[in-house]
Structure 1
Amino acid sequence: MNLLKPILFSAVQPSGTLTIGNYIGSILHWSSMQTTHHCIYSIADLHALTVFKNISSLQQSKLDTLCFYLSAGINPKQSIIFLQSQVHQHCQLNWILNCYTYFGELKRMVQFKQKSKIYAKNINSGLFNYPILMSSDILLYQSNVVLIGKDQKQHLELARNIAHRFNFLHGKFFNIPDSYIPNKYSCKIMALLNPTIKMSKTDVNHNNVIFLLDNKKSVFNKINKSVTDSENKIFYNSDTKPGISNLLNIYASLKRQNIHEVEKIFKKTSYKDFKYLLACMISNKLSVLQEKFHYFRNNLPYLKNILDYGAYQAKKIAQKTIENIYNLLGL
């Protein structure tokens, strides 16, 4: 590991087909950070168990997620890419950090409250303790920076609090990680039919979501059906115009343009024409991504080698952290 570069950690759950929201919010930014950071990218399959029970689908989803990482430009020779479940030290540190986390802190987690409503018949302990495992993921690698969306900010604050608490009791040990949120717009893509909630790969209404494997016809249908308003004026205001603001956000993020520049470009454009141009742009982007995806997906030995080598690299770092913690705690 190049100690001159800050360590960046990020992860995506393989709990379903990835969406354009996952791509824009995190994966899109990962490749460019490889030159400035030592990047550690995990496929968080242990986290997926909180809501994901179809084992055969999970196996497929893990490989699909890896292929999307590679298709987005993540280079396994530059970055560490691995399956969370293949590095047992995540679970070791998870238990230790449980003992440095207060019950009241977990009760205040907004995502637990939200998921408890969505998965009312499956409110398992994993959903409640999820933020501690996330803290373990981050602190295990002495991460300096964590790329997250706004909805994960509270979880990162918990990781920072746990690290501070551990350091106070045992001396400075953990780095205190900072968040990296790409920008205030692209970090959160909303559902197409209900732009007041986040786009989710587990949404039962697929018209809310653009999946990275959607074909051109599907993209056009979903964008055409997306909620806007009756004003027919294109400008960004997430409070009064959440629908068109969400579409502007998608366009600006994929184009890597400032959202206010995009507003000017489409100032005199109708919603109908804007939706058409947006659908064309998304389809073209996905077409390139999908071509690369299928190339990698058809090479299983290559994918296995990446995961095996990634787990080997991650374990070397993780084991050093665990050994040092065990020595500190007298274990």
Structure 2
Amino acid sequence: MAKFVNRVFSGIQPTGHLHLGNYLGAIIKFIELQKTHDCLYCVVDLHAITVAQNPDELRAHIRELTAAYIACGIDYEKQIIFNQSQVSGHAELAWVLNCVARVGWLNRMTQFKEKAGKDRENASVGLYDYPILMAADILLYKATHVPVGEDQKQHLELARDIAQKFNLDFASAIAAHGFEDAFFPLPEPLIQGPAQRVMSLRDGTKKMSKSDPSDNSRINLSDDAEAIAQKIRKAKTDPEALPSEVEGLAKRPEAENLVGIYAALIGETKADVLKTFGGGNFSTFKTALVDLAVDKLGPIGAEMKRLKAETAFIDQVLVNGATRARALAEPHMAAVKDIMGFVR
């Protein structure tokens, strides 16, 4: 079998303020992965424009997401933080892979159906084709591992299918150009323990979302200590004491959400948290959660505020990251063109 360098690729869309759910669901895993892998962490702005964006807001969100990556602890000197649109290989390879993938494969993508809703005919072609660009993002760097949540597993399977079909369709040309038995790796999902599903602070049955009209429904990574404390104090609860066992959270979504947030922030299980706070009232637990959240998240918000004011620095991080990303991508893209039969 062909040998590939262990490399992680992941990206987040710059489409609004990052919140606690993004942090606990993705970014803290990014921070751990950089200890063991070579990582590319992308600001996927090409994915963002699959729906209409205000140009000024998009530009601000790109910089804010970059600031968040750094403020949360991603080492931009050792790892690569970059902006997708600054590396032309993403779009180039996406077109090649469009011609490898099959329409039937895309028709099975459930996320398009969910995002387009009933007005599917009015959705952009980009929204429909989004999974092909995601495959190009990964395969452009021959990434071997991709941290994914439940909503992206199907897209990663598609990327694997496309990689395999390319390897089979062009097997002779791949061999003729000196590669072993495969040009693209089949990227593996990275599941780092159970993901913490973070729900709205106003409704424990709904996922925390940056599109929720109420800012009190979420803790933004850019929130300062005062805002974090206020939102937790106002978070919806029920009148009962906290249970002593995890099973007691089953029909209490707000209690389960806050206990889960505490557990994720401190690195314990929900059962561990209930050993400490079970049987007590919510006011005591909320006070402890405020202290913990402010301690863990307050410095991130403060550092993001500082970095966002340093526009030239943020832009230079992106320029440097794109230069390093292109150094990896361009030889791969040149080889793809040779394999396909293009004249360079």
TM-score exceeds 0.5 = yes
1:177 correspondence with 2:187 = yes
Distance 2:279 2:335 in 1: 61
| Superposition deviation, residue 298 in structure 1 | 2.7
Partner of 2:174: none
Partner of 1:50: 50
Structure 1 stretch 308-317 or stretch 107-116: which is displaced more?
Answer: 107-116
> 1:1-331, aligned counterparts within 5 Å?
6-117=6-117, 123-171=123-171, 172-186=182-196, 188-229=197-238, 231-234=240-243, 235-236=245-246, 240-331=251-342
Distance 1:299 1:225 in 2: 33
| Superposition deviation, residue 121 in structure 1 | 9.9
| Superposition deviation, residue 116 in structure 1 | 1.9
Distance 2:119 2:203 in 1: 19
1:123-179 Cα shifts (integer Å, max 9, x gaps):
222221111111111111111111122221111111111112222222311111111
1:87-121 Cα shifts (integer Å, max 9, x gaps):
01000111111122222322322222222239889
1:67-96 Cα shifts (integer Å, max 9, x gaps):
111111111221011000000100011111
SS at match of 1:282: helix
Point out where structure 2 has 5 or more consecutive residues left out of the alignment. Answer: 172-181
Change over 3 Å in CA distance of 1:174–1:108 after alignment to 2: same
Between the two proteins, the alignment pairs up a number of residues equal to: 328
Distance 1:41 1:141 in 2: 12
CA RMSD of aligned residues (A): 2.4
The structure with more radius of gyration? 2
Distance 2:120 2:223 in 1: 29
Q: Is the contact made by 1:25 and 1:182 (CA closer than 8 Å) also made in structure 2?
A: no
Distance 1:8 1:97 in 2: 20
Aligned-partner residue type, residue 252 of structure 1: A
Q: Is the contact made by 2:106 and 2:128 (CA closer than 8 Å) also made in structure 1?
A: yes
Partner of 2:176: none
| Superposition deviation, residue 218 in structure 1 | 3.4
Change over 3 Å in CA distance of 1:104–1:273 after alignment to 2: farther
Aligned-partner residue type, residue 212 of structure 2: D
SS at match of 1:213: coil
TM-score, normalisation: structure 1? 0.90
Distance 1:263 1:44 in 2: 39
Distance 1:229 1:247 in 2: 11
1:213-240 Cα shifts (integer Å, max 9, x gaps):
2234433443344344555334546753
Point out where structure 1 has 5 or more consecutive residues left out of the alignment. Answer: none
| Superposition deviation, residue 11 in structure 1 | 0.8
SS at match of 2:117: helix
Aligned-partner residue type, residue 30 of structure 2: W
| Superposition deviation, residue 208 in structure 1 | 2.2
Percent identity, aligned pairs only, is 37
Aligned-partner residue type, residue 173 of structure 1: F
Distance 2:170 2:274 in 1: 52
| Superposition deviation, residue 54 in structure 1 | 0.9
Change over 3 Å in CA distance of 1:12–1:236 after alignment to 2: farther
Aligned-partner residue type, residue 340 of structure 2: L
Distance 1:15 1:76 in 2: 21
Distance 2:98 2:4 in 1: 31
Q: Is the contact made by 2:4 and 2:142 (CA closer than 8 Å) also made in structure 1?
A: no
Distance 1:201 1:116 in 2: 18
SS at match of 1:81: strand
Q: Is the contact made by 1:52 and 1:58 (CA closer than 8 Å) also made in structure 2?
A: no
Aligned-partner residue type, residue 267 of structure 2: R
Change over 3 Å in CA distance of 1:138–1:195 after alignment to 2: farther
